A = this chain, B = another copy of it.
Amino acid sequence: MFKAIVSADTLRTTIDSVSVLVDECKIHLEEDGLSIKAVDPANVGMVDLELAAEAFESYEADGGVIGVNLDRLDSIAGMANADQLVEMELDEETRKLHIQIDGLEYTLALIDPDSIRQEPDIPDLDLPANVVIEGADIDRAVTAADMVSDHIALGVDEGDELFYVDAEGDTDDVHLELTREDLIDLTAGPAHSLFSLDYLKDMNKAIPNDGEVSVELGEEFPVKLHFETAEGLGEVSYMLAPRIQSD
């Protein structure tokens, strides 16, 4: 059983933060909210999302799991204005999701959850460095790095107490340093890892420019990006595996 009403804006933000990594996913409809775990086909990027029942106008669920095509759900939510409400109700028998937006009814065929790639075990890493940064600064770093290279190094300089971003291209380089003053918070520790820019660009699309992002880092370890959505009632964590340093 699942029956919920949510603002189109909240629904879209939720879908987008998962659809940057995968086309379809399982959604766990828990009593206290919904949760999604997914990993991309190459096993490089993972997402772990939770949206509390309080983020909805109304929410009723009893622990089922549905399989959803995210593109299609995004298009449906896209027909509503940001502040319009989207009503969803699961038909258990037909395995279809009935979606209503201001009188318009969309019947979405669900996907058999067993046919969807298995959900990842997201490792509980205890990373030595933690940076809290504005989303806009991540956007700036990723956009600049993309001009010169297809990978990007993130690191922390323990001595100078700063977070840095490095991208080295064939001819040009990009470098950004953010000191404790430029950051919202900094826990210095040994950290330097190289990542694929393609994944970070995708994750960046889902990161709100005006929100804060917690970035956990280590030496040649995955990076963990964490931010809130839906005015704090939703939480998204990305984990991105490092690339092996080429030099």
Contact = CB atoms under 8 A, between A and B. Distances in A.
Contacts of A72: 147, 172
A245 interface: no
Nearest to A143: B79
A104 interface: yes
Contacts of A198: none
A31 interface: no
Interface in A181-204: 182
Interface residues of A toward B: which range? 20 to 34
A23 interface: no
As for how many copies of this chain the complex holds, the number is 3
B141 A172 contact: no
Contacts of A103: 176-178, 182
A84 to B, nearest CB: 11
A173 interface: yes
Contact of A106 (B76, B109, B174): B174
A75 interface: yes
Interface string A164-175: 000000011111
A75 B147 contact: yes
Contacts of A75: 147
Contacts of A171: 109
Contacts of A4: none
A105 interface: yes
Given A75-B147, A106-B147, A107-B175, 13 more contacts: A72-B172, A76-B147, A79-B144, A103-B176, A103-B177, A103-B178, A104-B140, A104-B144, A104-B175, A104-B176, A106-B174, A108-B172, A109-B171
18 contacts: A76-B147, A79-B147, A103-B176, A104-B140, A104-B144, A104-B175, A104-B176, A105-B174, A105-B175, A105-B176, A106-B144, A106-B148, A106-B172, A106-B173, A106-B175, A107-B172, A109-B171, A109-B172
